[in-house]
Each structure stands twice: as C-alpha cells, then as structure tokens.
C-alpha cells in the first residue's frame, strides 16, 4: 500500500465497512431491545385479560385447590379460553361461573372474549413458549400452577383480587436469551437483509472510493512528475492546475517555484558571464601593458605607472563590489550600528564630489536638517558614494543634482535626483539588477560595472529600510531611500 491511490481506496472501503458493521450491531441490539419491550407489553395485556377469568373461577371454587398440582385443570382453562374466541356469547339465563358438572372451566368473561388479540396471543401455536412461561401463585406467593419461577423478584405480577382481597398472583418467567421461533425467523431474515445491504454498500463504496482516489491521485502524480523533473534540473517543467482546491493551489505553488528556479538559473548564468566579462577587461589591459613593458615597446615611465594603477584600482573596486554582494546574498553583510549625525555625513560626502561635478558644470544642491539616526556610518558613506558616483558619470554636462534629507516620524527620508537623461518605465524596473546598464548614456563607456545600485539596495535593506527608483521632476532619475531611526 505505497501509492496514494491505494491508500485512499482501502481507507474508504474500510471506513464504509466499519460504519455498516456498527450500524448493523446497533440495529440488532435496538431490535432485540424493542422486541423484548414488545413482548413485555403483550405479557402485561395478557395478564390483565387472564386475571378476570381466574377471579371468577376462584369465586366459584373459593380456593386454588382445583388447580394445585393438577396440570390438567390448568391446561383445560387455557383450552377453554382459546375456544371461547370462536364461540358465540351464551344466551338464556345467566349462571354463576365455575367448574360445571363435567369439570370444565367456565366461559371467559365478555371483556376478554371481545379482545381477539389477547385470545390470539394464547391460542396461536407460536405463542406456546409464552404459555409455558405463565405461572399462578396464591396469596402467599406459593406456586399453584404453570411455570416454575426461580425467583419472583423483579418480575411483573398481576394481582387476583376477590372482594378487595388479593387471593393470588399471575406472571411470566423471564424471557431469557431465547425468543419464539417466529422472532428467530424474523431476526434471521433481518440478518440476511443486512448482509445484502452490506454487500451492496461495499460495492458502491468501492466504486466511489475508486473514483475519489483516482481524482485525487492523478493531480498528485502529475505534481510528483513535475517535482522530479525540477530536481533533475528541468526548470521548464510545469504542473497542470485543474482545480482551485488545496491540490490546485499546491500545483500553482510548484509552478511558481519552477519559475523562480528557472529565473535564478538564468540570473546565475548571466551573473557568471557578466563577472567574467567585467574581470576580462581590466585583466586584458594589465596583460597588454605588462607585455609591452617587458618587450620594451613602452617605457616604464610615470604614464605607464598611472595606467597600471588605474586598471588595478578598477579591478580592486570590482572585486570589493562582488564581495559585498556575496555577503549580502549570504546574509552576512556586517552592519555595525551606532549614532550617526546624518546631515553631517551627507555634507561630507557631497563636498568630496562637488569638485568633480563642478568640472562637468553640474550644479549640486544639498538640503539637510539636523538629525541623528542609528546606522552603520561606513555603509551609509558607501551608499552615498555610489549614488554620487552615478551622478558624476551619467548626468549630462550642465545639469543639476539635488540631495534632500527630511525627518520622518520613525526615521528619515533621503532623496537623490538629477536632471537627466531620463529613463523609461522598463529601465526603472530593472535599475537594481546586477550588471544592468542602461544603453547609450548609461553604457559602460562611462565606467562602472552596473553593481552600484544593487549594492545600495542591499545596504538599505540590511538597515531595515526601503529604496526605490522614480522619475524625477528635474527630468532625470530620483532615488528615494527611507531609513528607520
């Protein structure tokens, strides 16, 4: 039973079988109890109808001596009661009941003669067991005739009263565990019907369980195949979402996982290709310069030293950026927070780039207000340097850069925007992707590997803040940063 289909099928069948068995047992017990209560009700009715007969007989005989140790007299009373059902009521002068000259019992009272159910109860052959259980006791609870009761405690007894005095008692011995033949035949029939119903219900339950198990196991099997394909690196595999239940939602989540894995694989491949490309350029320049120096093509002068130094610095900066991103991906980007006067830090970083911006006739406007936050000053300085470096490289000559810092209720807002060139919506959406560079004005010709804004995003997120790119009212790019206090 390893498959989900088999487990559901067997579980459904077992559940139905157990339910039907429990219902059959409950029905059997209830039927037995109900039948016993029915017999007891009938016995009560019989006792109430037989008691008047015995009263009239006792009034005639004035004692129970005629029936004591005389089974024949007891049987004749029953036979007379049975025949009275089919005999017309006596006509002519009414006589006092009792045993006549032929030792026959008197006729039954009219009340009992008019009750066909009571007479049929005593007359029917299938009630013989009940007749055998009937007994007669005298006023002192001593047995007179009928069945022998082991004990009368707990038994229902009907009193026989003559002139207000109890002269005897009649009752039935306990039913026990044996029912009349008619009841046993009825019970056997019910058992057969229950068995047939159980078999039919089992077939129906098996069919329904088969359909249910197949409907549930089929999408799960498809999910299993999809996950197996994903585990083998086939990230283009997708599951079929046919329902909106839990299985359908699971299939949707698996498809989202597959799309994420495929996207990550593509990003990883592009990441490796971009790293190789970015490293190849400075290494190739260094290799060419060193070969020219070793071959004596170029002299080892100050110009050669500056060229080698620039390529080494560019290579070192690229390696540092890659290390920063790797630490951020691993969740190990170290943030050492301490009280920082943010307005002072912004002014220091701005002054460091003011001369370079002025060299391209770019106006720098800084608007800050005194505020102190808890942050890592080195990472914030790196954040500001990356943003100002982008402005130095990409803002058109004669443009402007605006830096604004505002206090918020639970932190601060930092905005860096420029006069252009501007970006379209698609470029804004991809601006924080690694190694992404905007064509033309933001191409590699202006320097940079396309990692600066990605590093800024990781620094802001490491501080628990948010960063976003928007269109600037100045015509270019606006970077909005929110940092907690």
* CATH 3.30.565.10 location in the chain: 338-484
Would you state the pLDDT for residue 278? Answer: 72
Listed in order, strand segments (DSSP E) in 324-420 are: 338-341, 363-367, 372-375, 400-408, 411-418
Q: What is the pLDDT of residues 361-400, one digit of tens each?
A: 999 999 999 999 999 999 999 999 999 988 888 899 999 9
* CATH 1.10.287.130 location in the chain: 246-329
CA-to-CA distance for 39 and 43, rounded, in angstroms? Answer: 6
Asked whether 252 and 241 are in contact (CB, 8 A), the reply is yes
Would you state the pLDDT for residue 468? Answer: 94
User: Could you give the 3-state DSSP secondary structure of residue 225?
Assistant: helix
Q: What is the pLDDT of residues 425-467, one digit of tens each?
A: 888 888 888 777 775 444 444 556 678 888 899 899 999 999 9
CA-to-CA distance for 469 and 415, rounded, in angstroms? Answer: 10
For residues 5-32, b (16+ Cβ closer than 10 Å) or e, as one string? Answer: beebbeebbeebeeebeeebeeeeeeee
Would you state the pLDDT for residue 107? Answer: 44
Would you state the pLDDT for residue 123? Answer: 42
Would you state the pLDDT for residue 448? Answer: 61
CATH architecture entry for 246-329 = Orthogonal Bundle (1.10)
Would you state the pLDDT for residue 465? Answer: 93
Would you state the pLDDT for residue 47? Answer: 79
CATH architecture entry for 338-484 = 2-Layer Sandwich (3.30)
pTM of the model: 0.50
Question: Which two structure tokens, joined as six digits, stand for 250?
Answer: 């699971």
Can you list the residues of the chain whose pLDDT is less than 70?
1-4, 77-130, 176-183, 439-449
For residue 437, give the nearest of 448, 425, 424 by alpha carbon: 448
Name the CA radius of gyration of the chain, rounded: 54
């Amino acid at each position: 039973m390893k498959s989900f289909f088999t487990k559901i099928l067997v579980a459904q069948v077992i559940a139905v079988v157990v339910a039907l068995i429990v219902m059959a047992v409950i029905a059997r017990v209830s039927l037995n109890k109900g039948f016993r209560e029915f017999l007891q009700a009938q016995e009560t009715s019989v006792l109430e109808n037989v008691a008047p007969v015995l009263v009239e007989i006792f009034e005639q005989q004035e004692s129970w001596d005629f029936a004591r140790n005389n089974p024949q007299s007891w049987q004749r009373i029953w036979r007379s009661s049975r025949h009275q059902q089919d005999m017309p009521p006596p006509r002519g002068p009414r006589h006092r009941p009792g045993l006549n000259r032929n030792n026959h019992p008197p006729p039954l009272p009219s009340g009992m003669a008019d009750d066909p159910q009571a007479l049929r109860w005593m007359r029917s052959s299938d009630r013989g067991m009940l007749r055998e259980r009937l007994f007669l006791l005298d006023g002192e609870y001593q047995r007179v005739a009928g069945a022998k009761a082991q004990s009368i405690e707990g038994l229902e007894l009907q009193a026989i009263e003559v002139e207000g005095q109890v002269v005897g008692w009649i009752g039935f011995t306990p039913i026990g565990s044996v029912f009349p033949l008619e009841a046993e035949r009825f019970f056997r029939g019910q058992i057969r019907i229950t068995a047939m119903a159980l078999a039919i219900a089992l077939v129906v339950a098996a069919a329904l369980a088969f359909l249910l198990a197949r409907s549930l196991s089929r999408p799960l099997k498809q999910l299993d195949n999809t996950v197996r394909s994903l585990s083998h690196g086939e990230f283009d595999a997708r599951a079929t979402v046919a329902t909106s239940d839990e299985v359908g939602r699971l299939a949707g989540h698996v498809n989202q996982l597959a799309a994420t894995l495929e996207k990550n694989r593509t990003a990883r491949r592009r990441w490796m290709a971009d790293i190789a490309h970015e490293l190849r350029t400075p290494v190739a320049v260094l290799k060419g310069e060193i070969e020219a120096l070793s071959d004596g093509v170029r002299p080892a002068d100050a110009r050669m030293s500056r060229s080698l130094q620039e390529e080494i610095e560019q290579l070192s900066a690229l390696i540092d950026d890659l290390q920063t991103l790797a630490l951020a991906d691993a969740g190990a980007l170290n943030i050492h927070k301490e009280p920082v006067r943010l307005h002072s830090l912004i002014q220091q970083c701005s002054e460091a780039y003011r001369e370079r911006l002025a060299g391209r006739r770019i106006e720098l406007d800084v608007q800050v207000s005194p505020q102190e936050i808890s942050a890592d000053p080195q990472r914030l300085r790196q954040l500001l340097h990356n943003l100002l470096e982008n402005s130095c490289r990409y803002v058109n000559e004669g443009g402007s850069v605006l830096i604004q810092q505002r206090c918020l209720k639970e932190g601060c807002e930092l905005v860096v925007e420029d006069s252009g060139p501007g970006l379209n919506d698609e470029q804004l959406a991809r601006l924080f992707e690694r190694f992404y560079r905007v064509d033309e004005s933001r191409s590699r010709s202006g320097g940079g590997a396309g990692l600066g804004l990605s590093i800024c995003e990781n620094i802001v997120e490491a501080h628990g803040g948010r960063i976003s790119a928007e269109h600037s009212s100045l015509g270019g790019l606006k970077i909005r940063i929110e940092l907690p206090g």
